[in-house]
Structure 1
């Protein structure tokens, strides 16, 4: 049994998203199942997947068996991409990381891809508790990618983009 006390950086997110972040290798369906069955508790009480965590909440995470993936023949290719992305980081501080994403690299896995820039950055920065994309750019597009290193920074950046305090410019060559 694992217990996690929610701090201000983790507060405000839904319990299902929190668990998906904590139990990255666990399929989404299993995350919802352990919440629905009451195996996950917040402050010793059952919660629904929509519950928003608050600072000071104590989350009980049950021991779970994570399904083993078959041996991945493309692992060395993924490791090479991770190493290449290290050279693409152009700025980093305690709030953000700015990456010059090369063309041909997806920003995140999905639609048949299990690996993208955000997964590579998480592999490069395992000590970073929170790494989240602020925006996305197409797989075949090279360009600057802003990654938040704190939940509060992510919310601030996304809010600024929404209010058009920042803007993105696309140049076609």
Structure 2
């Protein structure tokens, strides 16, 4: 892996291509300048530091093909740019591809790999795929998975595909199902948790999500797949896509996810570690959607990783 420090901050001038047109300027900057606080980006827009065709614009301005965008230095510290990947990571991502065509790419994301770079993370899936697929001028995440969560992740290869797929998800036209191992026994074979969730930030800066009547509407269905001593393998279907939704909803019912260090149960996690669990047991197992160009119904399945299957094999099965 080759790391090269970014040159000293300088004003950038970017010419907008046809496939970038239609985006709001604020969203364009947030995507382009990952890791830069949104407050810094909005301040640059308010103060006129960002200009389009030499003129000031509002944050709601939609870019047009041929626009020239002036972007001031927004990063406070030097950024390390990853220009090359290790052979092992390249091979792992190539072998994780479940489907690829001109419009989209679906991968079985490995656990431990973030979906994008951030202030503390130099490389994510999206940056890696841009290196692996240099011929594709447009590669963007359609949705996100937590760093520890493995499974189905969709990447768009055109703006048309991105907007179509995001609209499907916004309108609950997709079907997302996860496999998770939770503590105890759910009261029924199928259980609906319909509790609003609110994001909170602690003084340490850590982000926590809590059940809060004033939060955003959130709904999850938990379906028991297999019983084990003291825990169950459960399929979780998302009706909404809130941050940490499955983890917080299951914990709210006293059935926390195995290996969840943030919302989980310490003793339960310790027990599962003795069976070889080294990560959070949450896997994006199945995803159904319509192809963004052909409208063809498609279902992708990412089999449970071998490391998680091995844990299940160590557990005592009960009726």
- Verify same fold: TM over 0.5: yes
How large is the Cα RMSD of the aligned pairs? Answer: 3.5
CA contact (8 A) 2:36 2:74 kept: no
Shift of 1:147: 0.8
Normalised by the length of structure 1, the TM-score is: 0.71
Distance 1:53 1:127, change over 3 A: farther
Distance 1:120 1:6, change over 3 A: closer
Normalised by the length of structure 2, the TM-score is: 0.43
CA contact (8 A) 1:103 1:139 kept: yes
Shift of 1:97: 0.5
Report what 1:119 is aligned to.
127
Q: Which has the larger strand fraction? A: 2
Shift of 1:156: 0.9
Output aligned runs, 1:26-65, within 5 Å: 27=36, 35=45, 38=48, 40-48=50-58, 50-61=59-70
> Residue 106 of structure 2 aligns to a residue in which SS?
strand
Shift of 1:63: 8.3
Shift of 1:32: 5.9
Q: Tell me, which stretches of 5 or more residues in structure 1 are unaligned?
A: none
Q: Which has the higher contact order (CA 8 A, sep 6+)?
A: 1
Q: Deviations over 1:114-140 (max 9, x none)?
A: 322122112212332322222222322
Shift of 1:6: 4.4
Distance 1:157 1:3, change over 3 A: closer
Count of aligned pairs: 167
Tell me which of 24, 27, 32 is aligned to 1:14. Answer: 24
- In 1, the alpha carbon distance for the partners of 2:65 and 2:81 equals 40
